[in-house]
């Protein structure tokens, strides 16, 4: 008959408790890390969202600046260019000079 070998030696109760404390401490540190640096107010996800919002706001600012520039050009034309003012009056407000005839084109439905 062969004798069975003991592959692992049994640990004492004190070393098992120390091992358990080390595992619990490590898990606690990992949990605290996840809470503060991934999910919390200064976490990675929050930083990602703020970065995304910043890019959106910056593109909105660029659009507003270009719109503001075009409005400044329009204002300058309205203050100085009489031909442009006349053109707008004819197109938008259907105005005509004295003696001009205005024709209205009526399209036939479908």
pTM attached to this predicted model: 0.55
Q: Is position 104 within any domain?
A: no
Look at residue 43 in the predicted model and tell me its pLDDT: 81
Q: Are residues 89 and 67 in the same domain?
A: yes
Cβ proximity of 84 and 77 under 8 Å = yes
Q: Are residues 54 and 38 in the same domain?
A: no
Q: Are residues 53 and 32 in the same domain?
A: no
Interaxial angle between packed helices 44-80 and 82-93, expressed in degrees from 0 to 180 and rounded to the nearest 10? 100
- C-alpha closest to that of 76 among 66, 61, 68: 68
- How many Cα atoms within 13 Å fall on the side-chain side of residue 45? 7
Dump pLDDT digits (tens) for 50-77: 999 999 999 999 999 999 999 999 999 9
* φ and ψ at residue 104, rounded to 5 degrees: -110, 130
DSSP state, 41? Answer: T
Q: Is position 73 within any domain?
A: yes
pLDDT band, residue 9 (cuts 50/70/90): low
Domain region containing 51 = 47-95
pLDDT above 60 for 48? yes
pLDDT band, residue 110 (cuts 50/70/90): confident
Q: Are residues 60 and 79 in the same domain?
A: yes
Q: Is position 32 within any domain?
A: yes
Look at residue 97 in the predicted model and tell me its pLDDT: 84
Q: Are residues 24 and 51 in the same domain?
A: no
* Count of domains observed in the chain: 2
């Amino acid at each position: 008959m062969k004798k069975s070998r003991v592959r692992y030696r049994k640990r004492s109760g004190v070393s098992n408790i120390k091992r358990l404390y080390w595992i619990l401490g490590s898990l606690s540190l990992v949990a605290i890390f996840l809470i503060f640096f991934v999910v919390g107010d200064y976490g990675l996800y929050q930083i990602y969202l703020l970065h995304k919002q910043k890019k959106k706001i910056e593109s909105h600012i660029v659009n507003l600046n270009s719109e503001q520039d075009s409005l400044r050009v329009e204002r300058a034309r309205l203050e100085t260019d009489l031909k442009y003012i006349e053109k707008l009056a004819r197109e938008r407000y259907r105005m005509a000079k004295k003696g001009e005839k205005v024709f209205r084109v009526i399209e036939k439905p479908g």
